[in-house]
Amino acid sequence: MTRRILIVFAVLGMVAAALGYYALRLKARAAREAQAAAEQQVAVTPPGNGPAEPVTLYVASDSDGTLHKMQVSAVLPAERSERDRAVLRTLMAQYTKPESGHPVGAGSDIRQVYLMEDDAAVVDTNSSFAEAHPSGVLAEELTVASVVLTLNANDNKIQRVKILVNGQERDTLAGHADLRRFYLASNIGQVVGGLALPDRDVVARRATGNTQ
Amino acid sequence: MHLLRSRRPLGEKHKHVWVSLGLIAAALLFWRLATVHAQSPDQLTVYSSQTTYSAALLDVKGVPYVGLVDVMEPLGSIDARPDGKKYKLRFTPPGGHAVEAQFTEGKEKAKVLGEELKLPANFVLQNARGYVPLSAVPAILTKLLAKPVQLHAAARRLFIGDIAERFSVELDKGTPPKLTVSFPAPVNPTIATEPGRVRFTFRREPVVSGGQDTYKFDDPVITGATFSEHDGLAELDVAATSPLLANFADGGKTIIMAAAPPPPPPTPAAPVSPPAAQPSAPAAAAQPKPPAAPRFLVILDPAHGGTDSGAAITPSLAEKDVVLTLARRVQRELANRGIAAAMLRNSDAAITLDQRAVTTNAARPALYIALHAANTGRGVHVFTAMLPATDLSRTGFLPWDTAQAAFLDLSGVAAGSVAAELENRKLPNIALVAPLRPMNNIAAPAIAVEIAPPDEKVEDIAGAQYQEQVAQSIAAGIAAVRGKLPEVRP
């Protein structure tokens, strides 16, 4: 009887150890796969195929809650929706830099830009864009405003923008900013009070309590 | 004997393995069930002279535990932080002196006001929150608050101070018989009728037994009454053989029950006659009730809750907890300025965005404030809805998705005033518009306030001094524009 109990406990111990080892292996494999997927998805400036063109980016800064207007050069495709996608991937590349003042999740990328009715764009982002985005009203709003204004600045026909995640509608970006609606570029101008002054570098309104 | 055992058939030999695997499966199933049981919601209702609120209970090996911050936060200013295995708590009651307590993870010994106190079970530290056994709460709070604290453990009810309300029951055997239940303070129970009884449920009132739980009456209509308390509430069941009507009197302090009058006998159908040539005398018109006094109500909406933790401010500090603390502070500061404020959640409850908007719109507040927290940026961000202003009539139909558009001007007034108060207190702030739900669905002036850390130390976002400053700014900002925001008749 004693021997039987010993065997049972020995087998139990071995199975528990084996299960633990298997769980660790699974965890390590999942981490490796996630890392590999993120590396594959890192947004990069599109490959060169022609002369570089000036691209206007509205780049967010978390520290002071502002959008900075920035000019960079990039080689852009000729087709309009591909061109818009390349512009936004250039923007994402700014945000995924280690020194970014408004970091977005690793692996954030733009899957596609769909153009509708000439003045509307639907931006399809990948899952990392939403899943790994820092959560917060201001942080999420700055990202949305940055995407909308950057598109509008480089393709001024685009007046309305909607953001999808992995081809699907989503309630919020990371718990706050409403993604169910189209954003009007003119409405986003409320966020950046200085939008009417395009030569200004910093185009955000800092509150002084005089909004009455 | 041993040799015989070793020569058993292969299936017999492997019997131990199968038994072991079965035991493991059973253990896993038991563990899963135990986890689910631990996550089942259980709440403690706390009654204090300031407010009634609830705190979530934690099941630790079958023993109910409660978070110290959850119980004490609405009663004053609390600063509680883990320091290694130690958990240090500093509590300041309104207008009082700070008192301190210290607990140690996994230990029964605690220090409250410098004196040793033995807990009935070990102190638990989970996600940087300190939990004590529920049965230890009266001893701890009595010392820290210098007030009598009474726990009805089985009923999940905690009474802070001498606030329990005992009621009396009196039957008048006249015709018809009347049952009078008297309370020392106004009550507002929910009333449910079932065949043979009327049930009064007291969720917010500290109603306790008046000395006996069961009353038997020698009356053919009202036969008895039973008082009980459970699950954080109290109930009074009145048994009757015919339907009862309940009326409130004495400003809500008295409930009078009497048999409902029998339905009128059916009247024979009158012959159809041509309209009278003479105008008939006007029927006695019901006296219109005088209009209720206008009231200024602020709705505070601590964002997230339940399984939606919001932003992870630090690995152990969730947005939902930071904003609940802040909301309670704002409520206190508003009360200090004579402004009534209701909270959409006063515990770790999950509420959908639509539920938040529906509840707020039904309450018809003068102002709605959503509270958020983030670990990005610095200072305080004040938002109004990102919607184009419209000239929709506020008395007409408002589209759900853009209901806020009609109130943007007043929302801007409130946001500007709060931002000005933040500026006065030299708190860094930004005022913007934001695409934030459910703010767009609110049919009243509405703002959102997001607090970010005041400095490089992200955990300072939960610091008592910083949060008090923010709460005072919000309350002062609202008080300053009270005359500009519409008071509403209930």
Nearest to B143 by CA among B72, B45, B85: B72
CATH number of B165-259: 2.60.40.3470
Task: Suggest the residue from B16, B313, B378, B450 to mutate for an interface test with chain A (most A CBs closer than 10 A).
Answer: B16
Task: Please answer whether residues B134 and B46 qualify as being in contact, where contact means their C-beta atoms are separated by less than 8 angstroms.
Answer: no
Residue B304 with chain A: CB contacts under 8 Å? 175
Q: Nearest residue of A to residue B402 by CA position?
A: A181
Instruction: Answer yes or no: do A136 and B312 touch at CB < 8 A.
Output: no
Nearest to A65 among B377, B415, B440 (CB): B377
From B381's Cα to the closest Cα of chain A, the distance in A is 7
- Across the interface, of A3, A64, A136, the residue whose CB is closest to B311 is A136
Partner-chain contact B372 A176, CB within 8 Å: yes
Over its length of 490 residues, how does chain B's per-residue pLDDT go in tens digits? 343 344 444 455 556 656 666 666 666 555 544 433 333 458 899 998 877 888 888 889 889 999 998 888 888 888 888 888 899 999 988 878 899 999 999 999 999 999 999 999 999 998 788 999 999 999 999 999 988 999 999 999 999 999 899 999 988 888 788 899 999 988 888 888 777 888 899 988 899 988 888 999 888 888 999 999 998 899 999 988 887 888 888 888 899 888 776 666 655 544 444 443 333 333 333 444 555 556 799 999 999 998 899 999 998 889 999 999 999 999 999 998 999 999 999 888 889 999 999 999 999 999 999 999 999 888 999 999 988 766 655 556 778 888 998 899 999 999 999 999 999 999 999 888 888 989 999 999 999 999 999 988 898 998 888 999 999 999 999 999 999 998 765 5
Distance CA A199, CA A56 (A): 12
Q: Which amino acid is at A173?
A: L
Tell me which architecture the domain covering B297-480 has in CATH.
3-Layer(aba) Sandwich (3.40)
Buried b (16+ CB within 10 A) or exposed e, B155-169: bbbbbbbebbbebeb
What tokens were used for A205?
Answer: 């309104």
- The greatest distance separating any two alpha carbons of chain B, rounded to the nearest whole angstrom, comes to 119
pTM for the whole structure: 0.63
Measure in Å the smallest separation between the Cα of B87 and chain A Cα atoms: 28
Distance (Å) from the C-alpha of residue B3 to the closest C-alpha of chain A? Answer: 13
Query: From B305, which residue of chain A is nearest by alpha-carbon distance?
Result: A175
**Domain range annotation of chain B:** 43-160, 165-259, 297-480
Return the residue of B nearest to A15 by Cα: B21
Nearest-CB residue to A137 (from B312, B372, B388): B372
Single-letter residue type at A39: E
| CB spacing of B376 vs A134 below 8 angstroms | yes
**A-B Cβ pairs (cutoff 8 Å, strict):** 140
A-interface mutation test, from B20, B354, B410, most A Cβ less than 10 A away: B20
The answer to ipTM > 0.90 is: no
Hey, CA dihedral for A64, A68, A73, A78, is it positive or negative? positive
The architecture of the domain spanning B43-160 is 2-Layer Sandwich (3.30)
Structure tokens at B366: 């003068």
CA B376 to chain centre: 29
Contact B21 A187 (CB under 8 A): no
Strand, helix or coil for residue B202: strand
